[in-house]
Amino acid sequence: MVKSKQPKARVLFVEDDKNLNSIVEDILMFKNYEVVSCFDGNTAMIYYSSQKFDLVLLDVMMPKMDGITLAREIRKKDEFTPIIFLTAKSTKEDTLEGYKSGADDYITKPFDIEELLARIEAVLKRTKFTDSLFSKSEESVIIIGSYSYNSENLVLTRGKETRKMTKKEGQLLKLLYLKRNEVLTRGLALKVIWGNDDYFMGRSMDVYVSKLRKYLGDDPKVNIENIHGVGFKLVVS
């Protein structure tokens, strides 16, 4: 008996347009993805809460629970599973709201199916790359001045004070640490953590750098320098 191929990934697909849902599901399955599809946010949350997925692909405008709310609910529980929005809402404000809710990518309708497949593969590849990159460091707990950061549980500690960090905050801090006292270029950080270096992602990274400066602000020997036009440098004196 010929064994079936191992699926590329397990995808939760949420789209209330039943025709589009069926078409995309068939194509993903043909491309060797395992797909669980549903038509509203509430059902999607039930599936997500009870099963394991490698990727969440969802529409924004849906009944019972919209995609933005669903993404935020997922991110409360899980900072790691990538989320791609597939939506007709295409303004700058819509896109920014999507990324702020926790999306890894944002694709507007109508879309080319080959582009969708390429975006899915890129997000999954990036997720595997970042996981392998950060796991290459032998240190799960790193010391940054008077702070310690546990990359396994995303906790930053100084004395008796602890802070639970988000996935992207933790990845950016770890990447700065791996390049400590050297320049971490904007392009490298954006491609590794955000997947591309466009304007929206650049604005997002600046916000995260500002947060990290605040988190590390109680130790005067630790500083994240802005190297104008190039990137950032974590300096520990």
Q: What is the pLDDT of residues 91-103, one digit of tens each?
A: 778 888 888 888 8
Q: Bridge-partner residues for 116, per DSSP?
A: none
AA identity, residue 39: F
State residue 172 phi and psi, 5-degree precision: -65, -40
Encode pLDDT of 59-73 as tens digits: 999 888 999 999 999
State the average pLDDT over residues 105-122. Answer: 90
Residue 37's pLDDT is: 95
Beta bridge mates, 226: 232
| Distance between CA atoms of residues 89 and 109, nearest Å | 8
What pLDDT shows up at residue 234? Answer: 95
Query: What's the one-letter identity of residue 49?
Result: S
- C-alpha 90, offset from chain centre: 20
Tokens of 156: 């930053």
Asked if residue 133 has pLDDT above 70, the reply is: no
- Model confidence at 1: pLDDT above 50: no
Residues paired with 144 in a beta bridge: 147
- Ordered by where they begin, the domains of the chain are 10-133 (3.40.50.2300), 165-236 (1.10.10.10)
Q: What is the pTM of this model?
A: 0.64
CA 32 and chain centroid, separation: 23
* DSSP secondary structure string for all residues of 11-23: EEEE-S-HHHHHH
Quick one: which of 135, 139, 200, 212 has its CA closest to 172?
212
